[in-house]
Amino acid sequence: MSAIQKNVEASSEKYSTSFTKGDLALPPAKKYLVLTCMDARIDPAAAFGIELGDAHVIRNAGASAVDALRSIVISEQLLGTTEIVLVKHTGCGMLTFKNEDAYAAVEKSLGAEAVQELHAKHLDFLPFPQLEKAVEDDVEFLKASKLVPDSFAISGWVYEVETGKTRRVV
């Protein structure tokens, strides 16, 4: 067992000894979801004031609305959320490359067959060159989607990893 796995096991044991929230309802109590990046420097609960059971938190590389759409639809249609808070962040890795760069890295590391699989699955890594524009584009994507009700409140934000502050873009 790796050191990480041992830590998961020990932390789970410690956490479970004082856990008292097992009766929370499945749908989020405050009926919203946060879509943010998977970046390890972001603690959504602390940064955005989310208590256990309040909201769904969807994380992926770059806080991509396109990539998160399946989870968004499940959250809204099956679990009753009515608002989306999209939060990208400064210093995001998605600002640092283009699809061609990611494909080249995969080929170098995993070989040509892996790249063929990426192409066969039409995988777009969804990088973006401008942070605020990416927030605006993803909010517009969600508002234009027939899979997100017009009645939804949708906002777009930027979290500053340097300061811990979050500022609204749209």
Please state the residue numbers annotated as binding site for Zn(2+): 37, 39, 89, 92
In the chain, beta strands by DSSP E: 32-37, 55-60, 83-89, 153-159, 166-168
Residues annotated in the binding site, as ranges?
Answer: 37, 39, 89, 92
- Apex 137 CA angle, 140 and 105, nearest 5: 140
The first and second tokens of residue 157, run together, are 């934000």
Report the b/e string of 114-142 with b at 16+ CB within 10 A: ebeebeeeeeebbbbeebeebbeebbebb
